[in-house]
Amino acid sequence: MELIGAINKPKKGPLPNYSAYHVIMAFFILGDGPIGRRALAERLDLGEGTVRTLIEKLYGLGLVSASAKGCQLTKRGDKMLMDIKKKVSYKPHIAAGTITIGKANSAILIRDAAKLIKSGMEQRDAAISAGTMGATTILLDEDDPRIPMFTADGRMQARTRVLCEDMKMEKGDVLIIGTGETEKEAERATWAAAYTVLERR
């Protein structure tokens, strides 16, 4: 994740208008195939000028190429995405039920990262700071999922188990569910919350 941080925080010059989590989001989106700059800006919920700056940075590092079809990852970019995917599993759209408060939800499983979670508040606050409704952090004790500092009722606990099974969660993993009024907001919430964990991996 050091390169992600470097892309977000250049050694000199002004800080970019995108966050580190936007960089990881961009990798996952670009990993699906060529995409135009305008469409990428729409997915990331950023201005076209900001996305142009991000693409230029990735291009300069040999991570992205551009063609008439749009922008896509190079072999080096693909390798970086594969390295990230060894640590995380991502689902942009999930049914979270009463676990969250938003209409739209997405989820990220971060493998072997439970030791990095304290109360889950850091992840929630990061999601809120990103302009979303928040995020819920789930841990797995033996076969029982739990939300730190929260007691789930039977219905919520049942839904949490289903999500953990769907994401193939194992003891020691962390499941983060971002929530919002729209799918874009939910994705942003999830990645903003997840990066608080990923940056320490």
Domains and CATH numbers, the chain: 2-84 (1.10.10.10), 88-198 (3.30.1360.30)
Dihedral (CA of 156, 136, 163, 94) sign: positive
Q: Is the pLDDT of residue 151 over 70?
A: yes
- Of the listed ranges 1-15, 91-105, 125-139, the least confidently predicted one is 1-15
pLDDT digits (tens, 9 = 90+) for 79-125: 999 999 999 999 999 999 999 999 999 999 999 999 999 999 999 99
This prediction has a pTM of: 0.91
Q: Is the pLDDT of residue 9 over 80?
A: no
Rg from Cα positions in the chain: 17
pLDDT digits (tens, 9 = 90+) for 15-66: 788 999 999 999 999 999 999 999 999 999 999 999 999 999 999 999 999 9
